């Protein structure tokens, strides 16, 4: 098969199980090269320390990245009590050590479970949040610390999996914008001994489970000149947005939508919707307001 030097025009989402030690951008570039995709982007970056689900959007699927980011996440995490690090994880420098041996499992479990529900959380300095266009982690590496406002996040469910030899294990289901490193640090603060993350794995993303993902080595094993086996692992963008209602339009409405024009639509509540034409072809994401459907992200 002759290849376009700029890459293939392919659309959809690859569910990658990112390995520990790899940045999200490095993982993205590896998948993009493997699929020889013209365009690609990731959603919901993972720290190099973290492993697990990293959706890689190919082609026009990059247009839904922002909508995927709004979904809940689920993590498995292990935290080490008694040590505070500058990055809130084991990749940073230990800045303080405190005794934790007086704590038992009952106390540790009670402290952890107290963080269920709506909580206020201060984002860590070592994060991709920006101040005047500069990522906070770059400022942190320069020894600069700035004040961060607490943000409201939701811990939908927290399962206590165990506590042994100063290590707490949890499974956490949470809203977008939740920092698990900050959660572990806050649990450590509540216990009076501090804590940092030693293992982090994203095991759920929206309705996606880790069992649906593939590691890069598994994708590599499917590589071939015609890309058939690889392309079979690409999910349709619309299939990964199950919480967004679908709306079908007729032929004329489909033409208007393709030109970015809003259309009159009956008997629909105001909401974000997935738009399909009369042949069930996915047109993109739209917004219904006051009886009109306005295209927001078109896949054409």
The answer to whether residue 45 scores a pLDDT higher than 90 is no
Q: Which of 187, 208, 166, 42 is nearest to 111 (CA)?
A: 187
251 lies in some domain: yes
Tell me what pLDDT residue 1 has: 43
Considering the domain architecture, whether residues 142 and 81 belong to the same structural domain is answered as yes
Tell me, yes or no, whether 174 and 54 share the same domain. Answer: no
pLDDT surpasses 60 at 294: yes
Instruction: Determine the pLDDT at residue 172.
Output: 98
Are 184 and 111 contained in the same domain? yes
Q: Please give the pLDDT value at position 4.
A: 59
Is 3 within the bounds of a domain? Answer: no
Estimate to the nearest angstrom the gap between the alpha carbon of 263 and the chain centroid. Answer: 33
CATH number at 38 reads 3.30.2350.10
Total domains present in the chain: 3
The C-alpha atoms of residue 203 and residue 113 are separated, in whole angstroms, by: 20
236 within 8 A of 282, measured Cβ to Cβ: yes
One domain, residues 219 and 96:
no
Closest among 76, 77, 59, 56 to 68, alpha carbons compared: 56
The pairing of beta strand 208-209 with beta strand 83-85:
unpaired
Q: Which residues of 232-248 are buried (b: 16+ CB within 10 A; e: fewer)?
A: ebbeebbebbeebeebe
Identify whether the C-beta of residue 247 lies closer than 8 Å to the C-beta of residue 265. Answer: yes
Residue 262 has pLDDT above 70, yes or no: yes
Whether 175 and 220 map to the same domain: the answer is no
Active site residues: 47
Domain enclosing residue 292, as ranges: 244-298
Q: How many CA atoms, within 13 angstroms, populate the side-chain half-sphere of residue 108?
A: 29
The answer for 130, left when phi > 0, alpha when psi is -120 to 50, beta otherwise, is beta
At 121-152, the pLDDT tens digits run: 988 877 777 776 777 777 777 777 777 888 99
Rounded to 5 degrees, what are φ and ψ at 260?
80, 15
The answer to whether 197 touches 92, Cβ cutoff 8 Å, is: no
Q: Do 158 and 272 belong to one domain? A: no
* Number of residues in the chain: 300
Judge whether residue 210 has pLDDT over 90.
yes
292 pLDDT more than 70: yes
Q: Are 157 and 173 in contact (CB under 8 A)?
A: yes
pTM of the shown model: 0.89
Contacts of 66 (CB under 8 A, 6+ apart): none
Asked if residue 186 and residue 108 are part of one domain, the reply reads: yes
CA distance 126 to 20: 17
- In tens, the pLDDT along 87-130 reads 999 999 999 999 999 999 999 999 999 999 999 998 887 777 77
67, pLDDT greater than 90: no
Average pLDDT, the chain: 92
Of the candidates 204, 198, 164, 195, the one whose C-alpha atom is nearest the C-alpha of residue 71 is 204
């Amino acid at each position: 098969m002759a290849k376009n030097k700029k890459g293939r025009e392919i659309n959809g989402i690859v569910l990658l199980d990112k390995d520990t030690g790899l940045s999200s951008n490095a993982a993205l570039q590896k998948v993009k090269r493997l699929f020889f995709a013209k365009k690609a982007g990731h959603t919901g970056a993972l720290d190099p320390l973290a492993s697990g689900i990293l959706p890689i959007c190919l082609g026009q699927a990059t247009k839904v990245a922002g909508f995927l980011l709004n979904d809940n996440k689920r993590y498995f995490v292990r935290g080490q009590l008694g040590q505070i690090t500058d990055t809130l994880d084991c990749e940073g420098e230990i800045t303080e050590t405190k005794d934790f041996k007086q704590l038992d499992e009952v106390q540790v479990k009670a402290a952890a479970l107290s963080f269920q529900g709506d909580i206020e959380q201060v984002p860590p300095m070592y994060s991709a949040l920006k101040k005047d266009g500069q990522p906070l982690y770059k400022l942190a590496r320069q020894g600069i610390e700035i004040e961060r406002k607490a943000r409201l996040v939701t811990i939908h469910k927290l399962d206590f999996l165990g506590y042994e030899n100063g290590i707490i294990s949890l499974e956490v289901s949470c809203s977008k914008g939740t920092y698990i490193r900050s959660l572990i640090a806050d649990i450590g603060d509540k216990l009076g001994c501090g804590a940092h993350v030693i293992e982090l794995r994203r095991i759920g993303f929206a309705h996606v489970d880790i069992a649906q993902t593939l590691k890069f080595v598994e994708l590599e094993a499917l590589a071939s000149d015609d890309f058939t086996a690889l392309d079979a692992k690409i999910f349709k963008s619309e299939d990964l947005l199950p919480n967004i209602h679908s709306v079908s339009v007729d032929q004329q409405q489909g033409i208007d939508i393709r030109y970015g024009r809003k259309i009159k639509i009956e008997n629909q509540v105001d909401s974000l919707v997935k738009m399909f034409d009369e042949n069930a072809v996915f047109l993109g994401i739209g917004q219904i307001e006051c009886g009109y459907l306005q295209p927001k992200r078109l896949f054409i």
